[in-house]
Amino acid sequence: MVKEKGTPPARDGATEQRILEAAKTVFIRRGTGGARMQEIAEEADVNQALLHYYFRSKERLSEAVFRETAGRMFPAIIQILGADIPIVEKIDRLVDTYLTTMSRTPFLPGYIISELHHHPERIPQLLGNVAGGDLSDALRPAFEKLGKQLAAEARAGRMRRISAAQFVVNLLSLCIFPFAARPMLRAALGFDDDKFTKFIEQRRKELPRYIRSALRP
Amino acid sequence: MVKEKGTPPARDGATEQRILEAAKTVFIRRGTGGARMQEIAEEADVNQALLHYYFRSKERLSEAVFRETAGRMFPAIIQILGADIPIVEKIDRLVDTYLTTMSRTPFLPGYIISELHHHPERIPQLLGNVAGGDLSDALRPAFEKLGKQLAAEARAGRMRRISAAQFVVNLLSLCIFPFAARPMLRAALGFDDDKFTKFIEQRRKELPRYIRSALRP
DNA sequence: GTCTATAATTTGATAGAC
DNA sequence: GTCTATCAAATTATAGAC
């Protein structure tokens, strides 16, 4: 049944998966426009024709990549935002989750920002992995919960008044932007890989207190 | 000397300028890789051959665009960071300057992040307009001054200790990221142009206090 | 399923008339 | 300086053998 040879060709879904992984690498590195099917084929160590056999066209392949990568950004935040825990703990968890995620795939923010900038029609794909399929539907309950929490804290005099939207955008800005702007930091501050890593670890310690402090009444 | 006709062709440097403006529009919209010379020609209302007459190649044209747009981001910040004014005033000015600049060219952050992500070799061009030509050289004095100020504030017990790098990155994150992530905000929070503008104006009011408060001891 | 060879298309760039 | 027509190169996509 299974053929045995010197260099055995991959069985079952392995080739397709390898192509998809190679495509992720190349699309994130070059962007959808700059990526070449040939480079993806080489990265996957297969022939270019095979890409079309499995994914039909560059367009479809890039969609698959975008869905698998960008679609993983929002579910995490939604889960934490809507959780039944105090605000300060949400801050801690969000900072930690985002910095950890970004550190593992540091080029992801640049890729997503770049793709959405040039292909706004892909925005709906951001929700691929969200239950129900409509992002705003999935976010709304989480935002409402967060908004009530923030209002309650403000009424109790424990926190300055701030809208849920501003709160979230501030937090995401502080966590994600340094990764998106990494090339600029390299140029401006001379951050090589090592310095950048240390810079991020410093942020992991400082950011929760920075954000809590910013919201003190 | 000057020829008069039904539709007079542009004189002197007007055509070249129009091409450059058109190129800015298209390159920012599509990215360097996605931009088409034909689209630029149409946007400038001239023939495609004329682009090459004035700028020789797509590569050179894209460099001119990048220099003129991205090269304007850093000089502003350097000037303010190095100024002889209190920290709190630097915060106010930086927030105001950046939000105003970004509001005028809201796609610039996405474009710059995207370009640097895919063409890191362009990083040096970021400094085009900086005296001396070396960005880190131009930034260093400003950063040193800022670092001393921050240290003095901390010693006097008026501010929490924070490095100049973290201080600046926090500030830039809060100002720039919302523009870079605009498509995401549209999807996640339903921000149309009008809501987004109001959201930014709200930030203009809130951010200086947010940042000052974050740094309270 | 995977390959080689090639078709079809897109696109940056140039030649040459006006 | 500006245009039309065209070339040359790059790149996606397909046909067909194995």
- Residues B180, B193 share a domain: yes
- Residues A115, A38 share a domain: no
Q: Would you say residue A3 has pLDDT above 80?
A: no
Per the structure, how many domains does chain B have?
A: 2
Q: Which residues of B touch A158 (CB under 8 A)?
A: none
pLDDT of residue B121: 86
Q: What's the rounded Cα separation, in Å, for the pair B86 and B197?
A: 29
pLDDT of residue B128: 58
Q: Using one digit for the tens of pLDDT, what is the confidence trace for B101-160?
A: 999 999 999 999 999 998 888 887 876 556 555 666 778 899 999 999 999 999 999 999
Q: Higher model confidence: residue B190 or residue A157?
A: A157
Asked if B160 and B166 count as a contact pair (C-beta separation under 8 A), the reply is no
Range of the domain at A119: 72-214
pLDDT of residue A5: 39
Q: Would you say residue B4 has pLDDT above 60?
A: no
Provide the shortest C-alpha distance from residue B93 to chain A (in Å). Answer: 19
- Residues A165, A123 share a domain: yes
Asked if A21 and A10 count as a contact pair (C-beta separation under 8 A), the reply is no
Disruptive mutation site among B99, B108, B117, B186 for chain A (greatest number of A CBs within 10 Å): B117
- Residues B61, B82 share a domain: no
Q: Using one digit for the tens of pLDDT, what is the confidence trace for A109-153?
A: 999 999 999 888 888 887 655 655 566 677 889 999 999 999 999
Q: Would you say residue B6 has pLDDT above 80?
A: no
Residue A30, CB, strand D, below 7 Å: no
pLDDT bin (cut points 50, 70, 90) of residue A2 is very low
CA A174 to chain centre: 14
Provide the shortest C-alpha distance from residue B181 to chain A (in Å). Answer: 6
Q: At CA A124, angle to CA A123 and CA A128, rounded to 5?
A: 120
Q: Which CATH number covers residue B20?
A: 1.10.10.60
A94 contacts chain B (CB < 8 A): no
By mean pLDDT, which of A186-190, B77-81, B159-163 is the weakest? A186-190
pLDDT of residue A76: 81
Q: Using one digit for the tens of pLDDT, what is the confidence trace for A184-196?
A: 998 888 899 999 9
Q: What's the rounded Cα separation, in Å, for the pair B172 and A120?
A: 24
What chain B residue is nearest to A177 in terms of C-alpha separation? B173
Tokens of B56: 């020789």
Q: Using one digit for the tens of pLDDT, what is the confidence trace for A46-68?
A: 999 999 999 999 999 999 999 99
Q: What is the largest CA-CA distance in chain A?
A: 73
In a domain, B130, yes or no: yes
pLDDT of residue B2: 40
Mean pLDDT, residues B189-212: 96
Chain A span 13-42 residues with beta carbon within 7 Å of strand C: 15
Mean pLDDT, residues A101-115: 93
End position of a domain, from candidates B33, B68, B103 = B68
End position of a domain, from candidates A68, A87, A113 = A68
Residues 6+ apart with CB under 8 A from A75: A129, A130
In a domain, A8, yes or no: no
Residue A46, CB, strand C, below 7 Å: yes
Protein CB footprint (7 Å) on chain D nucleotides:
1-5, 11-16
pLDDT of residue B186: 87
Closest to A184 (Cβ–Cβ): which among B34, B126, B181?
B126
End position of a domain, from candidates B35, B68, B101 = B68
- Residues B125, B23 share a domain: no
Asked if A74 and B188 count as a contact pair (C-beta separation under 8 A), the reply is yes
- Residues B187, B142 share a domain: yes
- Residues A40, A105 share a domain: no
- Residues B20, B80 share a domain: no
Q: How many helices (H) and strands (E) does chain A have?
A: 11, 0
- The total of other beta-carbon atoms located within 10 Å of residue A157's CB is 8
Q: Using one digit for the tens of pLDDT, what is the confidence trace for A9-56?
A: 545 689 999 999 999 999 999 999 889 999 999 999 999 999 999 999
Q: Would you say residue B164 has pLDDT above 80?
A: yes
pLDDT of residue A177: 98
A119 CA – D8 C1', rounded, Å: 30
pLDDT of residue A35: 94
Q: Higher model confidence: residue B86 or residue A138?
A: B86
Q: Would you say residue A157 has pLDDT above 90?
A: yes
The DSSP annotation for B96-144 comes to HHHHHHHHHSTTHHHHHHHHHHH-GGGGGGGGTTSTTS-HHHHHHHHHH
Q: Would you say residue B3 has pLDDT above 50?
A: no
Q: Which nucleotide does the CA of A35 lie closest to, via C1'? A: D11
Residue A17, CB, strand D, below 7 Å: no
Residue A57, CB, strand D, below 7 Å: yes
A7 contacts chain B (CB < 8 A): no
Mean pLDDT, residues A96-114: 94
Residue B38, CB, strand C, below 7 Å: yes
Q: Using one digit for the tens of pLDDT, what is the confidence trace for B8-60?
A: 554 568 999 999 999 999 999 999 988 999 999 999 999 999 999 999 999 99
Q: Which CATH number covers residue B97?
A: 1.10.357.10
Tokens of A96: 């930690």
Tokens of A59: 């367009």
Q: Which residues of A165-203 are buried (b: 16+ CB within 10 A; e: fewer)?
A: bbbbbbbbbbbbbbbbbbbbbbbbbebeeeebeebbeeb
